[in-house]
Amino acid sequence: MAWNRQRLRELLRHQLGDGLFIIVSNREPYIHRLQDEAVVCQIPSGGLTAALDPVMRCCGGLWVAHGAGDADRQVVDAHARIQVPPEEPSYTLRRVWLSKQEEAGYYYGFSNEALWPLCHLAYTRPIFETSDWEIYKAVNRKFADVILEEIGNRNAFVFIQDYHFALLSRMLKRPNIRTAQFWHIPWPNPEAFRICPQAEEILDGLLGNDLLGFHIPYHCQNFLDTVDRLLESRVDRERLQVTRGRVTTCVRSFPISVDSEAIAEQVADPAVEAEMTRLTRHYSLRQRIIGLGVDRVDYTKGIAERLRAIDRFLERHPEFHKRFVFVEIGVPSRIHIPVYQRLNEEIEQLVNEVNWKYQTDGWSPILHVNTDVPLTTLQAWYRLAHVCVVSSLHDGMNLVAKEYVSSRIQDDGVLVLSHFTGAARELTEALLVNPYNLDELAEAVHQSVIMIPEEQQRRMRKLRAHLKEHNIFHWAAGILSCLLQVELQQV
């Protein structure tokens, strides 16, 4: 029987009883902004919040996150809390306020100029600033203080998200608190990680968790190898656990997913159908073959390689001129960091070059949407696209691939997927490619646009069946079940 909301809710009640369920992340699931002097609630882009919001809607509890919206303070109560989602409140969002200095050092600095490039094999040099590290520690402590205040003397399960909070579990360690942490990005090999000046402190912080999760077994093995090389501890490779001091941490792989059935229901909504019609008319897409890329603009996503492959595809297959349009939805990200500024400039230049090379009256091959788009618009693009290209150079999972598959309610369409994503281990009916090989990537685009409907349906049905069973509730249940087993073993 596939996992669903009800089964997950029952599992959580059985494990926690009257205890408190808490998710901690840097990014908040709902953000309030001022638009034309009115406060509007937006859902920020990103796979983490899209994946975890269904879990919180199902289980209730508390989500602790950085309040980054310019109207966030206007809508919370005296304790910085607000009930979400706005249309049907089912859990509490507790916002943590950070100063500009804290945000610069903790988020833009140590998290994204040090840890992010350190963990991704994308040939961007990490920058380690002692001042950023000190602010990173202070922000982890600020989050710990907020969480401990919310828990009080109650029993609680705190589910920590990602690389922004490598130190948090140690700070939360109490008899009444169990912690699990999911590391959403890759974990590098020991030789790569050991260049980090704070490597031992980060490892020690992560080993404060009862359970530490990664997307794939390879990242688990890299973590165990790193601990074995750099830290005084006992590594049990047979049981996949590490003991340091009196704390034993289990290390497991849990491939994150999406609520595939909910996505399928959403994309069938008349509002999405209407948006498909509007986009088709607005961009003159009738009778066009549509390719799609959806990304937060980051050097790990292989956007430049993708655009160069589209150029090569059009160069080799002129019969698709005026017939093929590639839509690149690139949400700007971390624009205060110089490497991201340069990447945005490179992408814009590539789009202009390819369009100038091929465009004719009424047709340009690349449509560049370099802004965040509403959920209904994104779902309409998923429905319209004949092919979705996910060309990450290195990615922990990549949920765009799973969202696209979940959106193909007519079992058509083709997914072109990088070997270097966690998703490639599961979605084997996609056209798997090496994104560094532009010839291979261009040929995969060609294969996708000439693939007969019967082959599309055979592949897509298998992909959709896999995601129906291995959904976000299956992922959360695996983590909760594993944590329960850990607790029983340690009694």
| CA 305, chain centre distance (Å) | 20
What pLDDT score does 46 carry? 73
| CA 186, chain centre distance (Å) | 12
Homologous superfamily of 266-469 in CATH? Answer: Glycogen Phosphorylase B; (3.40.50.2000)
What pLDDT score does 486 carry? 64
What pLDDT score does 36 carry? 86
3-state secondary structure of 292: strand
What pLDDT score does 490 carry? 53
Burial 244-257 (b: 16+ CB within 10 A, else e): beebbbbbbbbbbb
pLDDT tens sequence for the chain (491 residues): 788 888 888 888 777 788 899 999 999 999 999 988 899 998 887 777 778 998 999 889 999 999 999 999 999 999 999 999 998 999 999 999 999 999 999 999 999 999 999 999 888 999 999 999 999 999 999 999 999 999 999 999 999 999 999 999 999 999 999 999 999 999 999 999 999 999 999 999 999 999 999 999 999 999 999 999 999 999 999 999 999 988 899 999 999 999 999 999 999 999 999 999 999 999 999 999 999 999 999 999 999 999 999 999 999 999 999 999 999 999 888 888 999 999 999 999 999 999 999 999 889 999 999 988 999 999 999 999 999 999 999 999 999 999 999 999 999 999 999 999 999 999 999 999 999 999 999 999 999 999 999 999 999 999 999 999 999 999 999 998 888 776 545 54
CA atoms within 13 A on the CB side of 372: 9
| CA 427, chain centre distance (Å) | 17
Nearest C-alpha neighbor of 95 from the set 63, 70, 65, 71? 65
Write out the residue limits of the CATH 3.40.50.2000 domain(s) in the chain.
5-256+472-490, 266-469
3-state secondary structure of 475: helix
What pLDDT score does 95 carry? 98
Give 304's contacts (C-beta < 8 A, 6+ positions apart): 343, 346, 347, 350
CATH of 5-256+472-490, picked from 3.10.20.30, 3.40.50.1950, 3.40.50.11890, 3.40.50.2000, is 3.40.50.2000
Nearest C-alpha neighbor of 201 from the set 267, 280, 140? 140
User: 3-state SS of 82-120?
Assistant: EEECCCCCCEEEEEECCCHHHHHHHHHHHHHHHHHHHHC
What pLDDT score does 488 carry? 44
Give the whole-angstrom CA distance, residue 65 versus residue 80.
11
297: phi then psi, degrees, rounded to nearest 5: -70, 110
Give 55's contacts (C-beta < 8 A, 6+ positions apart): 8, 23, 472, 473, 476
